[in-house]
């Protein structure tokens, strides 16, 4: 072989090795929070189980040293910088703090079982460290209290955000039981560790439930040929006949529920979806209920619901219950009207029960068929105007203009899957060339991946010692339909709305840049965290935005004015049912965590479901086994509807001033988004609205 060819090949190999090292390694002295390029983003994600183990061990060792230094400072020498800011740094910017969401993300998205398992174990160790060494550390509490108590009392040298941090952090320490006797505090620590492990197992079981159902060609009636052609075909073990395999994931479930004309197929898919992670997660849920009840009582609260809501906007369970009952009362007449409409013209494959109700697998199909027949609107035809790649690009354009940002898609190898995209974000306002951060997009389903849509901050948006913005890193996960041989990936209007929602979280995370990292972005009161994201969803119900965002995958033509009018008119079509369902899910979550250590989840679900006015309960349903919010939210699911009230109040004000107005975007950013969790959310709402928030926009928007 020619020596120059050999040298050339060697050069290519060496370049490849060097690129691999750039992507897969990270200098030991460089902190995980130091991200300055796309290569740094890739290197955040460990490539091997061994790397994960080493990172966990090293990060915990470093975090412990920082905490030891903080605790050892004499009380007389304590300052905001060496005590409060030092705690903030360990809690939110240390390698251990960054590893927590990184490992959680890897466990949810990595195709590699060994990586997922190592991430699970590593995540457990890191979370246990934070329980022991921060949340339940008596020495740390005393050190922090020694500075915080007099500092709060004499707050003239503190900014409002610093004072808020001290007050909230001190309250959190005390809510964690640091004032308890030593033996009780030790028990709190044990319970928190056990609950962390159980929650991780619950989530893992959902993510790794790879159920499928098989049906005949005839049982796929109503589903389009492109979708059917994409399905895996096998031979039935008994008859040898060809059967089609349906994966039980979000896009397939919705497609079958809305368009599957065969009631048997709908029922099989519905029950498979409702029984994901059952029975394993029922066992876990019972243990979690028992331990959370015990924890709450140790901490001086009547119930876990009372404990968890004590530091939220709602304050207490009584206020939450009153809010939900009010929602049910206000939406009930609308839901009655909606089902009366449906009952006038049910499809042939939908039959009412003896009690005059619809089965759960028939509701969406009946609604879809009614809309297609009486409103002449097929959501699959609307989806042809939202090809995924084009829609994402246009969506980025809308956000760019409104929030004065600039997005650039990066091409980088080395991430966990070749479908993952990386978007760099720049300020397009006064500091046009300022890099603000990076957003990872993992949008399509695959085996063992998280099955819903979610947002996760990986590196919070904050400032360095010189006051320069440090790059933020975040991940948006979704499970949108994939391309078929005949069509590109197309998004239903509801899926575009979902993307606007998760991207809204991302913009809150990006623009909520605060001096204290633990106040950054979405680190707000839990019943406020959905406000920005739900507000941004509403852009998808505006005629001008729909026209700008849409473009038929064949012709590029936007949605017609007639189609847009139909889409908008249908927003209120099932709003009563939607609110009733959300309120019922909230009450289910709420009931699990009322006082009482021994509860039967199935009995709670059965009793609440049988009380529904129009939807029948099938005894084979066990949806709580895959209701991940029972872990991550725990008596806080009500916050979706609570936040909806405030989000629609904000949106109504924004719309009056202009949904595509950078000036309004800047005002929204400066008064709400940029504050992150550095201020009480009720103050943020008043600052933007110029008045007390109210429910009127919510009632008007949903036709109540």
CB atoms within 10 A of CB 38: 19
Tallying the residues shown for the chain, one arrives at: 704
Q: Which helix (H) or strand (E) holds 534?
A: helix 531-537
Where b means 16+ CB within 10 Å and e means fewer, 204-227 reads: bbbbbbeeebbbbeebbebbeeeb
What integer pLDDT is reported at residue 431 of this predicted model?
54
Cα separation of 53 and 49, whole Å?
6
What integer pLDDT is reported at residue 450 of this predicted model?
87
Give the bridge partners for 212, in sequence order: 247
CA distances for 597 relative to 261, 288, 628, angstroms: 44, 9, 20
pLDDT at 377 over 80: yes
Structure tokens at 636: 């806080």
CB atoms within 10 A of CB 115: 22
Burial class (CB in 10 A: 0-12, 13-18, 19+), 15: exposed
Task: For the chain, give the mean pLDDT.
Answer: 92
Query: pLDDT digits over 480-528, tens only?
Result: 988 888 889 999 999 999 999 999 999 999 999 999 999 999 999 999 9
DSSP code of residue 5: H
CA distances for 310 relative to 298, 327, 525, 527, angstroms: 15, 21, 11, 12
Contact 276, 206 (CB under 8 A): yes
3-state SS, residue 351? coil
With tokens 């750039």, the residue in question is 22
Contact 451, 204 (CB under 8 A): no
pLDDT at 21 over 90: no
Q: Which range, of 54-63, 176-185, 640-649, averages the lowest pLDDT?
A: 176-185
Query: pLDDT digits over 123-151, tens only?
Result: 999 999 999 999 999 999 999 999 999 99
With tokens 């507000």, the residue in question is 535
One-character DSSP codes across 36-86: -SHHHHHHHS-SSHHHHHHHHHHHHHHHHHHHHHHHHS-GGG--IIIIIIH
CA distances for 324 relative to 7, 309, 331, 442, 640, angstroms: 72, 14, 11, 34, 11
What integer pLDDT is reported at residue 172 of this predicted model?
93
Tell me the pLDDT band of 13, cut-offs 50, 70 and 90: very low
Cα separation of 365 and 261, whole Å?
8
Q: Which of 258, 229, 231, 207 is nearest to 494 (CA)?
A: 258
Where b means 16+ CB within 10 Å and e means fewer, 346-359 reads: bbebbeeeeeebbb
What integer pLDDT is reported at residue 545 of this predicted model?
96
Contact 586, 242 (CB under 8 A): no
Backbone angles phi, psi at 4, to 5 degrees: -70, -35
Higher-confidence residue: 643 or 482? 643
Half-sphere exposure of residue 69: CA atoms within 13 angstroms, side-chain side: 15
3-state SS, residue 463? strand
Cα separation of 409 and 82, whole Å?
39
Q: Which helix (H) or strand (E) holds 440?
A: strand 435-442
pLDDT at 5 over 70: no
pLDDT at 677 over 80: yes
Q: pLDDT > 70: what percent of the chain?
A: 95
Angle at 259 between CA 345 and CA 576, to 5 degrees: 55
Contact 175, 311 (CB under 8 A): yes
CB atoms within 10 A of CB 183: 7
CA distances for 25 relative to 113, 153, 291, 462, 488, angstroms: 21, 47, 40, 24, 36
CATH 3.30.1550.10 for domain 31-135+137-175, yes or no, is: no
CA distances for 489 relative to 389, 392, 418, 451, angstroms: 8, 12, 16, 18
Query: pLDDT digits over 378-426, tens only?
Result: 998 999 999 999 999 999 999 999 999 999 988 889 999 999 999 999 9
Q: pTM higher than 0.85 for the full model?
A: yes
Burial class (CB in 10 A: 0-12, 13-18, 19+), 572: middle
Give the bridge partners for 247, in sequence order: 212
One-character DSSP codes across 205-239: HHHT---EEEE-SGGGTTS-HHHHHTSEEEE-TTT
Cα separation of 672 and 536, whole Å?
13
Structure tokens at 245: 């395999």
What integer pLDDT is reported at residue 11 of this predicted model?
42
Structure tokens at 495: 């899926």
**Which of 28-37, 178-187, 682-691 tops mean pLDDT?**
682-691
Q: Where are the domains of the chain?
A: 1-30, 31-135+137-175, 212-274, 388-575+639-701
pLDDT at 355 over 90: yes
Q: Which own/partner pairs from 392-399 qualify as long-range (CB within 8 Å, at least 24 positions apart)?
A: 392/441, 392/499, 394/548, 394/549, 394/551, 395/496, 395/499, 395/500, 395/503, 395/549, 396/423, 398/539, 398/545, 398/548, 398/549, 398/660, 399/503, 399/507
Contact 277, 627 (CB under 8 A): no
pLDDT at 201 over 70: yes
3-state SS, residue 487? coil
Q: Is 502 a catalytic residue?
A: yes
CATH 3.30.70.330 for domain 388-575+639-701, yes or no, is: no
Among 107, 203, 502, 538, the active-site one is 502
Contact 426, 435 (CB under 8 A): yes
Contact 124, 200 (CB under 8 A): yes
Q: Which of 462, 519, 513 is nearest to 168 (CA)?
A: 519
Contact 251, 480 (CB under 8 A): yes
Tell me the pLDDT band of 27, cut-offs 50, 70 and 90: low
Alpha-carbon Rg for the chain in angstroms: 26
């Amino acid at each position: 072989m020619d020596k120059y060819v050999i040298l050339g090949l060697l050069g290519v190999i060496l370049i490849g090795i060097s690129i691999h090292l750039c992507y897969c390694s990270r200098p030991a002295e460089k902190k995980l929070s130091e991200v300055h390029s796309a290569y740094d983003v890739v290197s955040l994600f460990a490539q091997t189980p061994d790397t994960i183990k080493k990172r966990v061990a090293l990060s915990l060792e470093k975090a412990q040293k920082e905490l030891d230094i903080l605790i050892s400072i004499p009380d007389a020498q304590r300052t905001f910088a060496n005590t409060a800011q030092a705690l903030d740094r360990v809690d939110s910017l240390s390698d251990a703090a960054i590893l927590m969401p990184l490992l959680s993300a890897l466990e949810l998205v990595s195709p590699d079982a060994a990586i997922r398992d190592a991430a699970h174990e590593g995540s457990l160790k890191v979370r246990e460290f934070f329980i022991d060494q921060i949340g339940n550390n008596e020495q740390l509490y005393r050190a922090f209290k020694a500075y915080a108590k007099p500092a709060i009392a004499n707050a003239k040298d503190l900014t409002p955000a610093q004072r808020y941090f001290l007050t909230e952090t001190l309250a959190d320490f005390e809510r964690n039981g640091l004032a308890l006797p030593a033996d009780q505090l030790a028990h709190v620590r044990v319970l928190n560790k056990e609950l962390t492990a159980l929650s991780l197992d619950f989530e893992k079981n959902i993510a790794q439930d790879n159920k499928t159902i098989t049906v005949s060609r005839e049982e796929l009636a109503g589903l389009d040929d492109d979708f059917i052609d994409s399905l895996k075909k096998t031979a039935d073990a008994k008859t040898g006949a060809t059967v089609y395999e349906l994966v039980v994931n979000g896009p397939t479930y919705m497609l079958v529920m809305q368009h599957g004309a065969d009631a048997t197929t709908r029922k099989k898919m519905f029950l498979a979806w409702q029984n994901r992670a059952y029975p394993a997660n029922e066992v876990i849920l019972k243990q979690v209920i028992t331990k959370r009840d015990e924890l709450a009582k140790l901490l001086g609260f009547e119930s876990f619901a009372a404990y968890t809501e004590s530091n939220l906007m709602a304050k207490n369970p009584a206020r939450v219950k009153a809010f939900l009952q009010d929602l049910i009362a206000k939406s009930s007449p609308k839901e009655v009207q909606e089902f009366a409409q449906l009952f006038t013209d049910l499809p042939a494959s939908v039959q009412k029960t003896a009690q005059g109700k619809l089965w759960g697998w028939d509701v969406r199909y009946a609604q879809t068929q009614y809309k297609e027949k009486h409103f002449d609107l097929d959501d699959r035809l609307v989806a042809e105007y939202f090809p995924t790649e084009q829609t994402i690009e246009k969506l980025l354009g809308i956000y760019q203009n409104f929030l004065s940002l600039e997005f650039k898609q990066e091409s980088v190898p080395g991430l966990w899957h070749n479908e993952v995209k990386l978007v760099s974000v720049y300020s397009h306002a006064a500091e046009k060339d300022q890099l603000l951060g990076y957003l990872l997009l993992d949008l399509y389903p695959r085996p063992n991946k998280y099955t819903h849509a979610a947002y996760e901050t990986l590196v919070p948006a904050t400032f360095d010692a010189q006051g320069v913005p440090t790059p933020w890193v975040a991940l948006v996960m979704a499970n949108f339909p994939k391309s078929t041989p005949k069509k590109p990936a197309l998004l239903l209007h509801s899926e575009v709305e979902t993307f606007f929602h998760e991207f809204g979280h991302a913009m809150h995370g990006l623009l909520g840049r605060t001096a204290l990292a633990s106040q950054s972005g979405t680190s707000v009161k839990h019943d406020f965290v959905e406000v920005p994201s739900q507000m941004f969803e509403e852009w998808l119900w505006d005629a001008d935005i729909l026209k700008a965002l849409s473009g038929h995958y064949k012709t590029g033509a936007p949605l017609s004015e007639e189609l847009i009018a139909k889409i908008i008119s249908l927003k209120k079509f099932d709003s009563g049912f939607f609110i009733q369902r959300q309120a019922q899910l909230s009450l289910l979550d709420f009931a699990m965590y009322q006082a009482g250590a021994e509860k039967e989840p199935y009995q709670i679900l059965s009793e609440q479901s049988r009380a529904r006015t129009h939807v029948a309960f099938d005894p084979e349903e066990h949806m709580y086994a895959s209701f991940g919010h029972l872990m991550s939210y725990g008596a806080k699911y009500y916050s979706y509807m609570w936040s909806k009230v405030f989000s629609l109040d904000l949106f109504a004000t924004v719309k009056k001033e202009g949904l595509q107005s950078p000036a309004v975007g800047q005002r929204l950013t400066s008064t709400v988004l940029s504050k992150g969790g550095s201020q009480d959310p009720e103050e943020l709402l008043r600052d933007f609205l110029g008045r007390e928030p109210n429910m009127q926009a919510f009632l008007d928007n949903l036709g109540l």
